[in-house]
Amino acid sequence: MNISGWQIAIIALLIILLFGAPKLPKLAKSLGQSMRIFRSEVRTMSEESKRNSSDPDSPDVSAEPSEDPRRDERAPVEGRVLNPNDPATERTRRTEREQPGDHR
């Protein structure tokens, strides 16, 4: 795909119209920072890949899970599970609503 000079000029004009001239320096700075971060991450990934491929005896640390995924760190929930279709459940709900001292 060959882009000629007049096509680049039209694209630049559309960008100026869409974003406005005052916002363009900020946009260019942000784009430059993003590209710099992207390049450094790609470089880091390629260095890690080369390091891992050159040393086949070293264990792959990323393949080992850091912790047990089945382990739940949250606090246990107190209460009970009720079946909404059970008539006893409706009686329990009514009884809980009618307890004295409970101001809802």
pLDDT for the residue numbered 54:
75
Alpha-carbon torsion, ordered 38, 41, 46, 51, to 10 deg: 170
Spatial separation of the C-alpha atoms in residues 102 and 88, rounded to whole Å:
21
CA distance 26 to 29: 5
d(CA 27, CA 19): 9
Task: Express as a percent the part of the chain with pLDDT over 70.
Answer: 67
Q: Is a pLDDT exceeding 80 seen at residue 22? A: yes
3-state secondary structure of 70: coil
| 100 vs 76 pLDDT, higher one | 76
Pairwise CA distance, residues 57 & 55, whole Å: 6
